[in-house]
Chain A
Amino acid sequence: MKKSYYLFNPGKLSRKDSTLKFTPVDADGVVGNSRYLPIEGIKNLYVFGSLDANSALYNFLGRHHVPVHFFDYHEHYSGSFMPKEFLLAGKMQVAQTEYYLSDTRRLTLARLILLGAAHNMRKNLCYYQNRGKDLGDLIESFDRYQAEIVAMLAPDRSGSLVAALMGLEGNLRQTYYQAFDRIMPNSGFEFTTRSRRPPQNELNALISFGNMMAYTASLDQIYHTQLNPTISFLHEPGARRYSLALDLAEIFKPLLVDRLIFKLVNKRQIQAQDFDRSLRGFLLKEKARKVFVQEWDQRLRETIKHRVLNKQVSYGYLIRLECYKLAKHCLEIERYQPFKAWW
Protein backbone atom coordinates (compact mmCIF):
# COMPACT_ATOMS: atom_id res chain seq x y z
CA MET A 1 0.00 0.00 0.00
CA LYS A 2 1.25 3.46 -0.82
CA LYS A 3 2.14 5.74 2.06
CA SER A 4 1.47 9.29 3.10
CA TYR A 5 4.51 11.36 3.94
CA TYR A 6 4.36 14.12 6.53
CA LEU A 7 6.81 16.99 6.22
CA PHE A 8 7.23 18.82 9.50
CA ASN A 9 10.73 20.17 9.17
CA PRO A 10 11.59 23.02 6.86
CA GLY A 11 13.53 22.02 3.83
CA LYS A 12 13.79 21.70 0.12
CA LEU A 13 11.98 19.10 -1.90
CA SER A 14 13.23 18.48 -5.40
CA ARG A 15 13.07 16.06 -8.23
CA LYS A 16 16.27 14.07 -8.51
CA ASP A 17 16.91 10.98 -10.62
CA SER A 18 13.19 10.60 -11.31
CA THR A 19 12.37 10.41 -7.66
CA LEU A 20 12.04 12.84 -4.75
CA LYS A 21 14.83 14.25 -2.69
CA PHE A 22 14.21 16.01 0.59
CA THR A 23 16.96 18.18 2.03
CA PRO A 24 16.28 19.61 5.48
CA VAL A 25 17.34 23.24 5.81
CA ASP A 26 16.87 24.79 9.24
CA ALA A 27 16.15 28.40 10.13
CA ASP A 28 19.85 29.30 10.13
CA GLY A 29 20.30 27.88 6.67
CA VAL A 30 22.20 24.81 7.83
CA VAL A 31 21.72 22.03 5.32
CA GLY A 32 21.19 18.52 6.67
CA ASN A 33 21.52 15.10 5.08
CA SER A 34 19.13 14.61 2.22
CA ARG A 35 16.80 11.71 2.00
CA TYR A 36 15.33 10.14 -1.07
CA LEU A 37 11.67 9.25 -1.04
CA PRO A 38 10.59 6.46 -3.36
CA ILE A 39 8.11 8.08 -5.73
CA GLU A 40 6.40 4.78 -6.53
CA GLY A 41 5.42 4.34 -2.90
CA ILE A 42 3.98 7.79 -2.22
CA LYS A 43 0.27 8.30 -1.88
CA ASN A 44 0.34 11.96 -0.90
CA LEU A 45 2.35 14.58 0.92
CA TYR A 46 1.29 16.61 3.93
CA VAL A 47 3.30 19.77 4.34
CA PHE A 48 3.28 21.31 7.80
CA GLY A 49 6.65 23.01 7.80
CA SER A 50 7.95 25.45 5.25
CA LEU A 51 8.92 23.89 2.00
CA ASP A 52 11.03 24.98 -0.93
CA ALA A 53 9.93 23.49 -4.20
CA ASN A 54 9.82 24.38 -7.85
CA SER A 55 7.46 23.77 -10.74
CA ALA A 56 9.58 20.93 -12.12
CA LEU A 57 8.80 19.09 -8.93
CA TYR A 58 5.08 19.74 -9.18
CA ASN A 59 5.04 18.62 -12.80
CA PHE A 60 6.69 15.45 -11.70
CA LEU A 61 4.30 14.93 -8.78
CA GLY A 62 1.37 15.63 -11.07
CA ARG A 63 2.48 12.94 -13.46
CA HIS A 64 2.61 10.45 -10.63
CA HIS A 65 -0.77 11.55 -9.27
CA VAL A 66 0.60 12.64 -5.92
CA PRO A 67 -1.49 15.38 -4.26
CA VAL A 68 0.23 17.76 -1.84
CA HIS A 69 -1.71 19.20 1.07
CA PHE A 70 -0.55 22.40 2.71
CA PHE A 71 -1.19 23.65 6.21
CA ASP A 72 -0.32 27.09 7.48
CA TYR A 73 1.46 28.10 10.66
CA HIS A 74 -1.80 28.02 12.56
CA GLU A 75 -2.39 24.46 11.40
CA HIS A 76 -5.26 25.50 9.20
CA TYR A 77 -5.69 23.69 5.97
CA SER A 78 -4.60 26.18 3.36
CA GLY A 79 -5.08 24.14 0.22
CA SER A 80 -3.90 21.31 -1.94
CA PHE A 81 -1.97 20.80 -5.06
CA MET A 82 -4.27 18.44 -6.90
CA PRO A 83 -2.87 16.77 -10.01
CA LYS A 84 -4.98 16.89 -13.10
CA GLU A 85 -8.05 14.68 -12.86
CA PHE A 86 -7.15 11.44 -14.52
CA LEU A 87 -10.30 9.43 -14.12
CA LEU A 88 -12.57 11.52 -16.23
CA ALA A 89 -16.04 10.20 -16.83
CA GLY A 90 -18.70 12.42 -18.31
CA LYS A 91 -21.40 9.90 -17.59
CA MET A 92 -20.56 9.87 -13.91
CA GLN A 93 -20.42 13.65 -13.77
CA VAL A 94 -23.83 14.02 -15.38
CA ALA A 95 -25.38 11.40 -13.11
CA GLN A 96 -23.92 13.05 -10.04
CA THR A 97 -25.21 16.45 -11.07
CA GLU A 98 -28.63 15.02 -11.81
CA TYR A 99 -28.79 13.65 -8.32
CA TYR A 100 -27.86 16.99 -6.91
CA LEU A 101 -30.43 18.86 -8.99
CA SER A 102 -33.39 16.72 -8.14
CA ASP A 103 -34.59 17.72 -4.68
CA THR A 104 -36.05 14.38 -3.74
CA ARG A 105 -33.07 12.42 -4.96
CA ARG A 106 -30.66 14.75 -3.26
CA LEU A 107 -32.62 14.54 -0.06
CA THR A 108 -32.50 10.76 -0.11
CA LEU A 109 -28.74 10.82 -0.35
CA ALA A 110 -28.28 13.62 2.16
CA ARG A 111 -30.50 11.82 4.60
CA LEU A 112 -28.59 8.58 4.22
CA ILE A 113 -25.26 10.34 4.73
CA LEU A 114 -26.52 12.01 7.87
CA LEU A 115 -27.96 8.74 9.13
CA GLY A 116 -24.57 7.14 8.71
CA ALA A 117 -22.91 9.95 10.63
CA ALA A 118 -25.54 9.78 13.39
CA HIS A 119 -25.16 6.03 13.69
CA ASN A 120 -21.40 6.30 14.03
CA MET A 121 -21.66 9.04 16.65
CA ARG A 122 -24.14 6.95 18.59
CA LYS A 123 -21.76 4.00 18.39
CA ASN A 124 -19.12 6.10 20.10
CA LEU A 125 -21.52 7.02 22.87
CA CYS A 126 -22.53 3.38 23.36
CA TYR A 127 -18.90 2.34 23.46
CA TYR A 128 -18.20 4.68 26.35
CA GLN A 129 -21.52 3.92 27.99
CA ASN A 130 -20.39 0.29 28.14
CA ARG A 131 -17.19 1.47 29.77
CA GLY A 132 -19.02 3.03 32.65
CA LYS A 133 -19.61 6.61 31.50
CA ASP A 134 -23.09 7.88 32.13
CA LEU A 135 -24.36 8.75 28.66
CA GLY A 136 -27.81 7.14 28.67
CA ASP A 137 -29.73 10.40 28.29
CA LEU A 138 -27.65 11.47 25.29
CA ILE A 139 -28.13 8.13 23.57
CA GLU A 140 -31.85 8.51 24.05
CA SER A 141 -31.94 11.90 22.42
CA PHE A 142 -29.85 10.45 19.61
CA ASP A 143 -32.53 7.87 18.97
CA ARG A 144 -35.07 10.65 18.73
CA TYR A 145 -32.99 12.58 16.22
CA GLN A 146 -32.39 9.49 14.14
CA ALA A 147 -36.12 8.84 13.97
CA GLU A 148 -36.58 12.45 12.91
CA ILE A 149 -34.07 12.05 10.09
CA VAL A 150 -35.77 8.89 8.90
CA ALA A 151 -39.12 10.67 8.93
CA MET A 152 -37.80 13.47 6.74
CA LEU A 153 -38.69 11.82 3.48
CA ALA A 154 -41.87 13.62 2.53
CA PRO A 155 -41.75 14.19 -1.23
CA ASP A 156 -44.07 17.22 -1.17
CA ARG A 157 -41.92 19.18 1.24
CA SER A 158 -38.86 19.52 -0.92
CA GLY A 159 -36.69 22.61 -1.28
CA SER A 160 -35.69 23.75 2.15
CA LEU A 161 -35.54 20.19 3.41
CA VAL A 162 -31.84 19.79 2.98
CA ALA A 163 -31.32 22.96 4.97
CA ALA A 164 -33.58 21.49 7.66
CA LEU A 165 -31.44 18.39 7.55
CA MET A 166 -28.33 20.45 8.12
CA GLY A 167 -30.12 22.04 11.07
CA LEU A 168 -30.73 18.59 12.47
CA GLU A 169 -27.09 17.84 11.96
CA GLY A 170 -26.30 20.84 14.13
CA ASN A 171 -28.56 19.58 16.93
CA LEU A 172 -27.05 16.15 16.62
CA ARG A 173 -23.54 17.49 17.00
CA GLN A 174 -24.50 19.65 19.94
CA THR A 175 -25.92 16.66 21.80
CA TYR A 176 -22.89 14.65 20.84
CA TYR A 177 -20.43 17.22 22.09
CA GLN A 178 -22.09 17.19 25.50
CA ALA A 179 -20.65 13.72 25.86
CA PHE A 180 -17.05 14.91 25.48
CA ASP A 181 -16.69 16.21 29.01
CA ARG A 182 -18.14 13.01 30.40
CA ILE A 183 -15.95 10.74 28.29
CA MET A 184 -12.84 12.63 29.26
CA PRO A 185 -13.31 13.61 32.90
CA ASN A 186 -10.40 15.09 34.91
CA SER A 187 -8.35 15.45 31.77
CA GLY A 188 -7.67 19.12 32.32
CA PHE A 189 -9.62 19.79 29.14
CA GLU A 190 -13.04 21.28 29.08
CA PHE A 191 -15.23 21.28 26.08
CA THR A 192 -17.76 24.00 27.03
CA THR A 193 -18.80 24.97 23.51
CA ARG A 194 -17.64 24.33 19.98
CA SER A 195 -15.64 27.22 18.63
CA ARG A 196 -13.75 27.53 15.40
CA ARG A 197 -11.70 30.08 13.51
CA PRO A 198 -9.90 30.17 15.84
CA PRO A 199 -10.67 27.44 18.37
CA GLN A 200 -11.07 28.97 21.82
CA ASN A 201 -9.78 26.10 23.92
CA GLU A 202 -7.56 23.04 23.75
CA LEU A 203 -10.24 20.52 22.94
CA ASN A 204 -11.65 22.66 20.15
CA ALA A 205 -8.17 22.97 18.68
CA LEU A 206 -7.87 19.18 18.66
CA ILE A 207 -11.26 18.75 17.02
CA SER A 208 -10.48 21.32 14.35
CA PHE A 209 -7.16 19.73 13.58
CA GLY A 210 -8.69 16.27 13.39
CA ASN A 211 -11.59 17.35 11.21
CA MET A 212 -9.17 18.93 8.81
CA MET A 213 -7.23 15.67 8.52
CA ALA A 214 -10.50 13.82 7.86
CA TYR A 215 -11.39 16.34 5.17
CA THR A 216 -8.10 15.93 3.33
CA ALA A 217 -8.22 12.13 3.68
CA SER A 218 -11.67 12.14 2.06
CA LEU A 219 -10.50 14.44 -0.69
CA ASP A 220 -7.63 12.07 -1.45
CA GLN A 221 -9.97 9.15 -1.83
CA ILE A 222 -12.44 11.04 -4.03
CA TYR A 223 -9.57 11.90 -6.32
CA HIS A 224 -9.10 8.21 -7.02
CA THR A 225 -12.70 7.77 -8.10
CA GLN A 226 -14.70 9.30 -10.89
CA LEU A 227 -16.78 11.44 -8.60
CA ASN A 228 -16.56 15.20 -8.81
CA PRO A 229 -15.39 16.51 -5.43
CA THR A 230 -17.25 19.80 -5.76
CA ILE A 231 -20.78 18.43 -6.12
CA SER A 232 -22.11 17.40 -2.75
CA PHE A 233 -25.42 16.32 -1.33
CA LEU A 234 -25.66 17.05 2.37
CA HIS A 235 -23.52 20.17 2.38
CA GLU A 236 -24.42 22.89 -0.05
CA PRO A 237 -21.91 22.92 -2.90
CA GLY A 238 -20.33 26.32 -2.70
CA ALA A 239 -17.41 27.93 -4.38
CA ARG A 240 -13.77 27.24 -3.68
CA ARG A 241 -14.14 24.13 -1.67
CA TYR A 242 -14.50 20.43 -2.20
CA SER A 243 -17.82 19.99 -0.49
CA LEU A 244 -18.23 16.31 -1.32
CA ALA A 245 -15.22 15.74 0.92
CA LEU A 246 -17.17 17.41 3.72
CA ASP A 247 -20.06 15.01 3.16
CA LEU A 248 -17.79 12.01 3.36
CA ALA A 249 -15.83 13.35 6.31
CA GLU A 250 -19.12 13.71 8.17
CA ILE A 251 -19.57 9.94 8.15
CA PHE A 252 -16.05 9.12 9.24
CA LYS A 253 -15.30 11.88 11.73
CA PRO A 254 -16.81 10.05 14.74
CA LEU A 255 -14.86 6.92 13.94
CA LEU A 256 -11.53 8.41 12.96
CA VAL A 257 -11.23 11.80 14.61
CA ASP A 258 -13.27 11.66 17.79
CA ARG A 259 -12.12 8.25 18.87
CA LEU A 260 -8.55 9.32 18.31
CA ILE A 261 -9.05 12.42 20.44
CA PHE A 262 -10.58 10.41 23.28
CA LYS A 263 -7.66 8.05 23.17
CA LEU A 264 -4.96 10.73 23.03
CA VAL A 265 -6.49 12.70 25.87
CA ASN A 266 -7.43 9.81 28.11
CA LYS A 267 -4.00 8.25 27.76
CA ARG A 268 -2.47 11.66 28.37
CA GLN A 269 -0.49 11.54 25.14
CA ILE A 270 -1.59 15.12 24.62
CA GLN A 271 -1.87 17.43 27.61
CA ALA A 272 -2.65 21.02 28.40
CA GLN A 273 0.98 22.12 28.04
CA ASP A 274 1.02 20.88 24.45
CA PHE A 275 -0.88 23.95 23.30
CA ASP A 276 0.18 27.43 22.43
CA ARG A 277 -2.15 30.12 23.57
CA SER A 278 -1.64 32.75 20.97
CA LEU A 279 -3.49 36.02 20.65
CA ARG A 280 -6.21 34.37 18.65
CA GLY A 281 -7.17 31.03 20.04
CA PHE A 282 -5.26 27.86 20.72
CA LEU A 283 -2.96 25.79 18.62
CA LEU A 284 -1.12 22.55 18.91
CA LYS A 285 2.58 22.70 19.49
CA GLU A 286 4.90 20.96 17.09
CA LYS A 287 5.43 17.93 19.33
CA ALA A 288 1.74 17.32 19.92
CA ARG A 289 1.00 17.79 16.26
CA LYS A 290 3.48 15.03 15.46
CA VAL A 291 1.91 12.74 18.04
CA PHE A 292 -1.50 13.39 16.56
CA VAL A 293 -0.44 12.85 12.97
CA GLN A 294 1.50 9.71 13.84
CA GLU A 295 -1.51 8.19 15.54
CA TRP A 296 -3.73 9.39 12.73
CA ASP A 297 -1.55 7.72 10.12
CA GLN A 298 -1.59 4.50 12.08
CA ARG A 299 -5.33 4.59 12.43
CA LEU A 300 -5.88 5.06 8.71
CA ARG A 301 -3.73 2.03 8.05
CA GLU A 302 -5.42 -0.12 10.66
CA THR A 303 -7.51 -2.84 9.06
CA ILE A 304 -10.81 -4.46 9.84
CA LYS A 305 -12.48 -7.44 8.29
CA HIS A 306 -15.09 -6.11 5.90
CA ARG A 307 -18.33 -8.02 6.17
CA VAL A 308 -19.48 -7.71 2.59
CA LEU A 309 -16.16 -7.88 0.80
CA ASN A 310 -14.98 -10.53 3.22
CA LYS A 311 -11.42 -9.27 3.36
CA GLN A 312 -9.18 -7.01 5.40
CA VAL A 313 -9.80 -3.34 4.63
CA SER A 314 -8.02 -0.34 6.10
CA TYR A 315 -9.90 2.59 7.60
CA GLY A 316 -8.51 4.79 4.86
CA TYR A 317 -9.86 2.49 2.20
CA LEU A 318 -13.28 2.49 3.84
CA ILE A 319 -13.59 6.08 2.67
CA ARG A 320 -12.82 4.99 -0.88
CA LEU A 321 -15.46 2.28 -0.69
CA GLU A 322 -17.92 4.96 0.40
CA CYS A 323 -17.10 6.89 -2.80
CA TYR A 324 -17.73 3.80 -4.90
CA LYS A 325 -21.08 3.30 -3.21
CA LEU A 326 -22.08 6.90 -3.91
CA ALA A 327 -21.02 6.53 -7.53
CA LYS A 328 -23.04 3.34 -7.90
CA HIS A 329 -26.05 5.04 -6.40
CA CYS A 330 -25.84 7.93 -8.85
CA LEU A 331 -25.46 5.55 -11.76
CA GLU A 332 -28.42 3.61 -10.41
CA ILE A 333 -26.53 0.36 -10.12
CA GLU A 334 -27.02 -0.14 -6.44
CA ARG A 335 -28.78 1.81 -3.70
CA TYR A 336 -26.46 3.68 -1.40
CA GLN A 337 -26.16 2.44 2.16
CA PRO A 338 -24.01 4.61 4.38
CA PHE A 339 -21.11 3.09 6.22
CA LYS A 340 -22.18 2.16 9.73
CA ALA A 341 -19.66 0.94 12.24
CA TRP A 342 -20.72 -2.54 13.30
CA TRP A 343 -18.32 -3.12 16.15
Chain B
Amino acid sequence: MYVILVYDVSEKRVAKMLKLCRRYLNWIQNSVLEGELTQSGLRAMESEIKELIDPSTDSVIMFKSRDSRWLEKRIWGIEKGLTDVFL
Protein backbone atom coordinates (compact mmCIF):
# COMPACT_ATOMS: atom_id res chain seq x y z
CA MET B 1 0.00 0.00 0.00
CA TYR B 2 1.43 3.37 -1.01
CA VAL B 3 0.33 6.28 1.11
CA ILE B 4 0.53 10.07 1.05
CA LEU B 5 -0.27 11.70 4.33
CA VAL B 6 -1.00 15.39 4.84
CA TYR B 7 -1.77 16.93 8.17
CA ASP B 8 -2.81 20.27 9.53
CA VAL B 9 -2.85 20.09 13.29
CA SER B 10 -2.75 22.53 16.15
CA GLU B 11 0.69 23.98 16.82
CA LYS B 12 0.89 22.10 20.12
CA ARG B 13 0.80 18.77 18.33
CA VAL B 14 2.79 19.50 15.19
CA ALA B 15 6.06 18.12 16.50
CA LYS B 16 4.41 15.03 17.98
CA MET B 17 2.63 14.38 14.73
CA LEU B 18 5.82 14.66 12.71
CA LYS B 19 7.67 12.28 15.02
CA LEU B 20 4.87 9.77 14.85
CA CYS B 21 4.60 9.81 11.08
CA ARG B 22 8.35 9.65 10.50
CA ARG B 23 8.37 6.20 12.06
CA TYR B 24 6.16 4.91 9.30
CA LEU B 25 6.72 7.15 6.29
CA ASN B 26 9.32 9.27 4.52
CA TRP B 27 9.10 12.97 5.12
CA ILE B 28 8.95 14.91 1.86
CA GLN B 29 7.74 18.36 2.80
CA ASN B 30 6.41 20.23 5.80
CA SER B 31 3.33 18.31 6.94
CA VAL B 32 3.57 15.91 4.00
CA LEU B 33 4.88 12.35 4.10
CA GLU B 34 4.74 9.44 1.76
CA GLY B 35 5.78 5.84 1.67
CA GLU B 36 5.04 2.16 1.48
CA LEU B 37 3.07 0.55 4.29
CA THR B 38 1.71 -2.87 5.03
CA GLN B 39 -1.92 -3.33 5.99
CA SER B 40 -0.97 -3.82 9.61
CA GLY B 41 1.47 -0.92 9.55
CA LEU B 42 -1.26 1.27 8.17
CA ARG B 43 -3.66 0.23 10.87
CA ALA B 44 -1.08 0.78 13.60
CA MET B 45 -0.34 4.25 12.31
CA GLU B 46 -4.01 5.11 11.98
CA SER B 47 -4.76 4.19 15.54
CA GLU B 48 -1.80 6.18 16.81
CA ILE B 49 -2.93 9.21 14.84
CA LYS B 50 -6.45 8.92 16.20
CA GLU B 51 -5.04 8.83 19.72
CA LEU B 52 -3.03 11.97 19.13
CA ILE B 53 -5.26 14.38 17.31
CA ASP B 54 -8.18 16.44 18.52
CA PRO B 55 -10.86 15.83 15.91
CA SER B 56 -12.53 19.15 16.58
CA THR B 57 -9.53 21.24 15.54
CA ASP B 58 -7.09 19.03 13.61
CA SER B 59 -7.22 17.60 10.15
CA VAL B 60 -5.33 14.69 8.67
CA ILE B 61 -5.80 13.51 5.11
CA MET B 62 -4.49 10.31 3.66
CA PHE B 63 -4.28 9.36 -0.01
CA LYS B 64 -3.95 5.67 -0.60
CA SER B 65 -2.82 3.87 -3.68
CA ARG B 66 -2.30 0.17 -4.22
CA ASP B 67 1.22 0.70 -5.44
CA SER B 68 3.54 3.63 -6.08
CA ARG B 69 3.49 2.69 -9.74
CA TRP B 70 -0.09 3.95 -10.03
CA LEU B 71 1.10 7.33 -8.93
CA GLU B 72 2.78 9.93 -11.04
CA LYS B 73 4.91 12.30 -9.04
CA ARG B 74 6.09 15.63 -10.41
CA ILE B 75 8.25 18.10 -8.63
CA TRP B 76 8.86 21.80 -9.31
CA GLY B 77 11.54 23.66 -7.46
CA ILE B 78 13.53 21.84 -4.81
CA GLU B 79 12.98 18.28 -3.78
CA LYS B 80 13.10 18.50 0.00
CA GLY B 81 12.97 14.89 1.09
CA LEU B 82 13.98 11.73 -0.73
CA THR B 83 12.27 8.40 -0.51
CA ASP B 84 14.78 6.04 -2.12
CA VAL B 85 16.66 3.32 -0.29
CA PHE B 86 20.20 4.17 -1.38
CA LEU B 87 21.99 6.48 1.02
Chain B interfacial positions (CB closer than 8 Å to A): 19, 22-27, 35-38, 41, 44-45, 81-82, 85-87
Using CB atoms, name the residue of chain A closest to B42.
A40
Q: Is A337 an interface residue (CB 8 A)?
A: no
A18 close to B (CB within 8 Å) = yes
Question: In the complex, how many angstroms separate the beta carbon of B32 from the nearest chain A beta carbon?
Answer: 13
| Interface pair A38/B87, CB less than 8 Å apart | no
A9 with B25: CB separation less than 8 A = no
Contact segment of A144-152, A228-236, A290-298: A290-298
* A290 CA to B19 CA, complexed, in Å: 30
Contact of B41 among A36, A41, A293, A297 (CB under 8 A): A41
When chains A and B are docked, how far (Å) is the Cα of A3 from the Cα of B24?
A: 12
State the interface size on chain A (CB cutoff 8 A): 26
* Cross-chain contact of B36 among A3, A4, A18, A294 (Cβ < 8 A): A3
Query: B85, A4: Cβ atoms under 8 Å?
Result: yes
Q: Which of A282-318 touch B at CB < 8 Å?
A: 290, 293-294, 297
Q: Is the Cβ of A6 less than 8 Å from the Cβ of B86?
A: yes
Complex Cα gap A173–B71 (Å): 44
A180 close to chain B: CB less than 8 A: no
> Which residues of chain A come closer than 8 Å to B81, judged between CB atoms?
35
Decide if B82 touches A3 in the complex (CB within 8 Å): no
Cα distance A36–B19 when bound, in Å?
10
Q: Does A178 contact B (CB under 8 A)?
A: no
Q: Does A239 contact B (CB under 8 A)?
A: no
When the two chains form their complex, are residues B85 and A38 in contact, meaning their CB atoms are under 8 A apart? no
A154 cross-chain contacts in B, Cβ below 8 A:
none
Give, as a whole number of angstroms, the nearest-CB distance from A84 to chain B.
21
At the interface, yes or no: A11 with Cβ under 8 Å from chain B? yes
CB-contact partner of A18 in B19, B86, B87, under 8 A: B19
Q: With A1-B36, A3-B36, A19-B22 in contact, is A40–B41 under 8 Å at CB?
A: yes
What is the bound-complex CA distance between A37 and B36, given in angstroms?
12
Q: Is the CB of B85 within 8 A of A24?
A: no
Taking the closest CB of chain A, its distance from the CB of B64, in whole angstroms, is 15
